């Protein structure tokens, strides 16, 4: 990851194969903000900032793309080098909104971890406004105007095409509206002059505020209180079921051996969709909700995306499904070494390497960065002697070492930082704080 990108040149991004191969023609995807950004946020803040700056440098292209799709604002491309849409499959390029909402998520996470308000003032809010404009024109209300959502879209699970109210898409749309409005309200109090300048630059209409509030409030999130399941999209629960374990290995990758029509007409999942937003905003959901959705969706996933096994491993570890977590971890870390998906010759899966780092830190380390403070809940696989990792946060280096049945956490420079460890508020500093791993 350090060889691939260090942010020395502003306005550059990470190709899906990094420097290791020519597959995907060097294009960058939404993986940058959802998988790569956390690695750089906790190792190299400047690199993280410049990854996000790429989206600002290409904002005009995103606005041009939005107009081409009959939307206002900015519609970020699924695959790109220069900011122009490079994907030649319309069902991906025109139906997937997650590149745009991933930019909003990246801005949110960057601001949350770094506290860099200047980035919001110079670049972030302008992007958020343009993304919100797209979301406000790409979606629509139901006939009764009681629900708002997105029709004829494709979510992260690319095996479901032209679906209505994909839960990930709707959830991220709601998040983007609310975050944009929150930042505008905050800036109105703290830096009204800068807010006025940004509004003037983008020709902001104050009626947009009420429009976005209504659409966020009425956003349809398909959730069943009884089962605690989020429905991946409207009608997903009614799709024919396919036993993914019955598919011959010779048929993989399916895109090369099955017709698109055959892929799309059942409830087989390519990669995490509902589980994806349950991980991105993990602290917002109960353990029961995460368990119910993992146990429902995991058996339906074939992991044809290199991004998939790490997400499943992280959530499996959180749920105490340690054997599954280890199996998915092996899948994630040895994907290219063992050529699991039969395509390593085309180059390494760079963003899956970032996901494998997340697998250790967020998975076995129990690290979470979406809550009020950083939290840790390390566990040790039974056949491991131990492991350790370090992250940079607020100018300090936090060291976490797991050995035997104990966990030691400290800051290498002696700075004191408030965190949570196994759910308890804790202040860590230069002296090791030692915890027993709960049974």
For residue range 73-103, list pLDDT tens digits in order. 999 999 999 999 999 999 899 999 999 999 9
End-to-end CA distance of the chain: 34
Distance of CA 66 to the CA centre of its chain: 22
pLDDT on residue 306: 84
pLDDT higher than 90, residue 343: no
pLDDT higher than 80, residue 340: no
Q: To the nearest whole percent, how much of the chain has pLDDT over 70? A: 100
Q: What is the DSSP letter of 301?
A: B
Catalytic residue among 158, 231, 298, 304: 158
pLDDT on residue 148: 98
Q: Sorting pLDDT into bands at 50, 70 and 90, what band is 354?
A: very high
Q: Which residues contact 207 (CB under 8 A, 6 or more apart)?
A: none
**Highest mean pLDDT out of 245-249, 339-343, 419-423:** 419-423
SS3 121: helix
Element (H, E) at 418: strand 417-421
pTM: predicted TM-score of the whole model, two decimal places: 0.96
- Among 249-258, 268-277, 291-300, 393-402, which stretch is predicted with the lowest mean pLDDT? 249-258
pLDDT on residue 46: 94
Q: What is the DSSP letter of 104?
A: H
What's the rounded mean pLDDT across residues 166-187? 98
**Structural domains in the chain plus CATH codes:** 23-364 (1.50.10.10), 375-436 (2.60.420.10)
**Tokens standing for residue 141:** 């209300």
Exposed/middle/buried for residue 364 (C-beta within 10 Å: 0-12, 13-18, 19+)? buried
d(CA 93, CA 76): 9
What's the rounded mean pLDDT across residues 147-151? 98
Strand partners, 269: 301
What's the rounded mean pLDDT across residues 134-139? 98
Query: What is the average pLDDT value for the chain, to the nearest integer?
Result: 95
- The better pLDDT of the pair 338, 389 is held by 389
What's the rounded mean pLDDT across residues 336-356? 85
Under 8 Å between Cβ of 179 and 106: no
pLDDT on residue 346: 87
pLDDT higher than 90, residue 289: yes
Distance of CA 181 to the CA centre of its chain: 21
pLDDT on residue 439: 84
Q: Sorting pLDDT into bands at 50, 70 and 90, what band is 335?
A: confident
pLDDT higher than 90, residue 378: yes
Decide if 432 is catalytic. no
- Among 109-118, 311-320, 346-355, 410-419, which stretch is predicted with the lowest mean pLDDT? 346-355
Residue keyed to tokens 């990094």: 18
Q: Sorting pLDDT into bands at 50, 70 and 90, what band is 328?
A: very high
308: left (phi over 0), alpha (psi -120 to 50) or beta: alpha
Task: Tell me how far apart the 2 most distant CA atoms of the chain are, in Å.
Answer: 62
Under 8 Å between Cβ of 304 and 341: yes
pLDDT on residue 336: 87
pLDDT higher than 80, residue 341: no
What's the rounded mean pLDDT across residues 120-147? 98
Nearest to 41 by CA among 101, 11, 1, 82: 1
Q: Which residues contact 263 (CB under 8 A, 6 or more apart)?
A: 159, 254, 255
Mode of pairing for the β-strands spanning 375-376 and 417-421? parallel
Q: To the nearest whole percent, how much of the chain has pLDDT over 90? A: 85
Q: Sorting pLDDT into bands at 50, 70 and 90, what band is 256?
A: confident
**Tens digits of per-residue pLDDT, 209-229?**
999 999 999 999 999 999 999
d(CA 72, CA 382): 53
What's the rounded mean pLDDT across residues 308-314? 96
Under 8 Å between Cβ of 222 and 233: yes
**Tens digits of per-residue pLDDT, 263-282?**
999 999 999 999 999 999 99
Q: What is the DSSP letter of 33?
A: I
**Tokens standing for residue 306:** 């290199």
Cis peptide before 253 (omega within 30 of 0): yes
Q: What is the DSSP letter of 240?
A: P
Under 8 Å between Cβ of 419 and 375: yes
d(CA 381, CA 320): 11
């Amino acid at each position: 990851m350090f060889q691939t990108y260090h942010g020395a040149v502003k306005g550059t991004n990470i190709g899906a194969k990094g420097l290791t191969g020519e597959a995907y023609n060097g294009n960058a995807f939404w993986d940058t903000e959802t998988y790569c950004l956390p690695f750089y946020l906790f190792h190299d803040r400047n690199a993280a900032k410049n990854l996000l700056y790429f989206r600002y440098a290409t904002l005009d292209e995103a606005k041009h793309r939005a107009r081409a799709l009959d939307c206002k604002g900015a519609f970020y491309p699924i695959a790109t080098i220069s900011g122009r849409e490079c994907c030649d499959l319309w069902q991906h390029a025109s139906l997937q909104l997650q590149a745009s909402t991933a930019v909003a998520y990246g801005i949110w996470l960057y601001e949350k971890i770094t506290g860099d308000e200047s980035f919001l003032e110079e670049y972030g809010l302008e992007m958020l406004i343009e993304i919100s404009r797209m979301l406000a024109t790409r979606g629509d209300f139901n006939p009764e105007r009681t629900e708002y959502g997105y029709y004829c879209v494709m979510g992260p699970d690319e095996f479901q095409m032209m679906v209505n109210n994909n839960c990930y898409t709707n959830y991220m749309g709601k998040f983007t509206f609310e975050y944009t409005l929150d930042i505008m309200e905050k800036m109105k109090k703290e830096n009204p002059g800068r807010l006025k300048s940004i509004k003037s630059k983008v020709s902001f209409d104050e009626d947009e505020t009420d429009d976005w509030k209504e659409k966020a409030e009425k956003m349809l999130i398909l959730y069943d209180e009884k089962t605690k399941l989020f429905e991946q999209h409207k009608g997903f629960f009614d799709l024919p079921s396919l036993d993914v374990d019955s598919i011959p290995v010779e048929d993989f990758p399916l895109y090369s051996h099955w017709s698109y029509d055959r892929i799309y007409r059942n409830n087989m999942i390519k990669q995490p969709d509902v589980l994806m937003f349950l991980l991105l905003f993990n602290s917002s959901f109960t353990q029961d909700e995460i368990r119910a959705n993992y146990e429902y969706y995991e058996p339906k996933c074939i992991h044809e995306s290199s991004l998939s096994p790490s997400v499943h491993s992280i959530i499996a570890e959180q749920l105490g499904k340690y054997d599954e977590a280890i199996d998915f971890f092996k899948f994630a870390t040895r994907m290219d070494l063992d050529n699991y998906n039969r395509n390593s010759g085309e180059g390494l899966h760079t963003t899956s390497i970032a996901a494998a780092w997340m697998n250790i830190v967020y998975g076995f380390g129990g690290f979470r960065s979406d809550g009020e403070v950083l939290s840790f809940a390390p566990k040790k696989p039974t056949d491991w002697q131990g492991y350790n990792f370090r992250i940079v946060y607020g100018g300090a280096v936090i060291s976490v070492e797991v050995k035997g049945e104990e966990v030691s956490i400290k800051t290498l420079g002696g700075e004191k930082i408030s965190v949570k460890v196994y759910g308890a508020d804790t202040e860590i500093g230069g002296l090791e704080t030692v915890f027993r791993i709960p049974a």
